[in-house]
């Protein structure tokens, strides 16, 4: 095959026309930015109303534009709109159709604005709405976790460090740990929303406009707190998208941690939880299998969200002021991350709501691995006045003895314990049971059932 033939083969199918077709394909964004149609039309309505209020265009033209935009929106929402790649983006597609609907007044809509500030306001509006949607979804998952915590406030289970049994905790306490994480996620999205709630509309291409526009009017109409204070920053800023992705990445990481625990806990080796049939699948060859596919898919999808964050940071890191076409690559990343984060939140909420904890297995696991060793050390400090480091050493010796005897700490006899330290009394057995252990952890935020119930009540009130 000649070099020329090979080159032509590379164009293939849709690129048979050569570079012109490739340029149209790489330049067009309508394939994905059509999702901004509602925001684009809202921004245009606010802009047209402002142009009329300031006397820049006639009121009759603004009225025609408003009605025409509503017609275009209804066509898009009904699925009757024919999007054109040749028109590049959602802005030009809407404007072209508006001209077909209302004629000459459509040409006045773009007075005192540019696609640069237009896309900036559209995208900002979309991301702001996503912050609100994520907040509602996070609250729903938090309620599901609080319900689990309420049901199992006094169910003893092992707490882990290094995935090794550490100290007894309660099921409710473990569930509430994720509630705290998700609350911080909500706070990050709220902070990001507050910072992004300023309007770039009216910055035009980059330098503002010579028309006597009212940027405060359009900002207010679109629910923004104020217009952005620098036109260069207004058209080039994508911090709001990056903050959304950063908050989503942290939130997704929390979901992945919980998903990992559900995968482990639902295994035959742990049997801590049983996932409902709605969130599990069988095997095509092994009839005994109950695979936690939903949790595994959540764990995997998180990588797409992390990737979107890195990708957009990479796009933005080398851009001089102000707008560059590179920024067209911002939306697909954010759209994909938002879609997958919302899907993961919905799936996790369903799984948490449906899962059943195996109380007996949890309790039995909590009693293994010398989980009350710290309680023993603490007792030696309180009852015998030993320095903690000495108490730690004595406890270690008792653990070694129990290991040699093939039993757990509560199964040692008093005589055996006194052989390690003569001062130990029978009162030590009061702290060695796992129920006694968790009940003693009454410090604020501790695992004692009374503390867990207090935290459950606090979150039930906060979440409504």
Q: Are 37 and 90 a contacting pair, CB within 8 Å?
A: yes
| 111, HSE (Cβ side, Cα atoms, 13 Å) | 25
Task: Report the distance separating Cα 412 and Cα 399, nearest Å.
Answer: 10
Task: Report the distance separating Cα 335 and Cα 123, nearest Å.
Answer: 10
Tokens 């925001």, residue located: 39
Taking the C-alpha atoms of 9, 15, 19 and 21 in order, what is their torsion angle to the nearest 10 degrees? 170
3-class state of residue 198 by DSSP:
strand
The catalytic residues are 162, 283
Task: Report the distance separating Cα 183 and Cα 145, nearest Å.
Answer: 12
Residue 396 sits at the vertex; the CA angle it makes with 400 and 380, to the nearest 5 degrees, is: 130
Q: Are 433 and 381 a contacting pair, CB within 8 Å?
A: no
| 122, HSE (Cβ side, Cα atoms, 13 Å) | 25
Task: Report the distance separating Cα 310 and Cα 332, nearest Å.
Answer: 13
Residue 415 sits at the vertex; the CA angle it makes with 412 and 416, to the nearest 5 degrees, is: 45
Residue 287: exposure state from Cβ atoms within 10 A (0-12, 13-18, ≥19):
exposed
153, 215, 280, 293, 451 from 297: Cα distances, Å: 29, 45, 11, 6, 34
Task: Report the distance separating Cα 95 and Cα 68, nearest Å.
Answer: 10
Q: Are 125 and 43 a contacting pair, CB within 8 Å?
A: yes
With residue 19 as reference, give the H or E element that holds it.
helix 19-27
With residue 166 as reference, give the H or E element that holds it.
strand 164-170
Residue 373 sits at the vertex; the CA angle it makes with 367 and 375, to the nearest 5 degrees, is: 100
Tokens (6 digits) for 200: 């770039």
């Amino acid at each position: 095959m000649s070099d020329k033939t090979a080159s032509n083969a590379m164009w293939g199918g849709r690129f048979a026309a050569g570079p012109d077709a490739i340029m149209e394909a790489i330049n067009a964004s309508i394939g994905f930015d059509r999702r901004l149609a509602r925001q684009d039309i809202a921004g245009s309505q606010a802009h047209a109303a402002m142009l009329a209020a300031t006397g820049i265009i006639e009121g009759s033209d603004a009225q025609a534009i408003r009605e025409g935009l509503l017609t275009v929106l209804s066509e898009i929402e009904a699925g009757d709109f024919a999007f054109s790649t040749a028109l590049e983006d959602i802005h030009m597609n809407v404007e072209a159709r508006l001209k077909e609907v209302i004629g000459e007044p459509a040409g006045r809509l773009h007075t005192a604005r540019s696609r640069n500030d237009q896309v900036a306001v559209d995208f900002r509006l979309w991301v702001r709405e996503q912050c609100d949607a994520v907040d509602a979804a996070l609250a729903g998952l938090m309620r599901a976790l609080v319900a689990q915590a309420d049901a199992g406030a006094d169910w003893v289970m092992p707490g882990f460090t290094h995935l090794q049994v550490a100290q007894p905790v309660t099921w409710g306490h473990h569930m509430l740990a994720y509630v705290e994480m998700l609350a911080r996620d909500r706070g990050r999205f709220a902070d990001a929303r507050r910072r992004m709630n300023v309007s770039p509309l009216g910055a035009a291409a980059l330098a503002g406009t010579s028309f006597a526009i009212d940027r405060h009017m359009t900002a207010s109409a679109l629910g923004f707190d104020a217009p952005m204070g620098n036109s260069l920053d207004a058209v080039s800023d994508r911090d709001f998208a990056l903050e959304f992705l950063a908050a989503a990445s942290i939130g997704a990481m929390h979901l992945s941690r919980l998903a990992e625990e559900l995968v482990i806990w639902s295994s035959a080796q742990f049997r801590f939880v049983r996932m409902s049939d709605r969130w599990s699948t069988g095997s095509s060859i092994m009839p005994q299998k109950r695979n936690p596919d939903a949790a595994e898919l959540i764990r995997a999808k998180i990588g797409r969200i992390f990737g979107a964050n890195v990708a957009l940071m990479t796009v933005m890191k080398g851009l001089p002021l102000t707008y560059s076409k590179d920024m067209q690559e911002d939306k697909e990343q954010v759209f994909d991350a938002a879609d997958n984060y919302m899907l993961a939140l919905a799936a996790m909420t369903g799984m948490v709501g449906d899962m059943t904890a195996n109380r007996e297995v949890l309790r039995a696991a909590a009693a293994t691995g010398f989980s009350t060793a710290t309680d023993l050390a603490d007792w030696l400090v309180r009852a015998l006045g030993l320095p903690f480091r000495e108490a730690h050493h004595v406890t270690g010796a008792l653990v070694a003895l129990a290991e040699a005897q093939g039993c757990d700490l509560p199964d040692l006899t008093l005589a055996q314990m006194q052989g390690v330290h003569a001062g130990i009394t029978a009162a030590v057995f009061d702290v060695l049971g796992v129920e006694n252990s968790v009940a003693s952890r009454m410090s604020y935020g501790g695992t004692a059932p009374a503390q867990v119930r207090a935290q459950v009540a606090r979150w039930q009130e906060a979440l409504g």
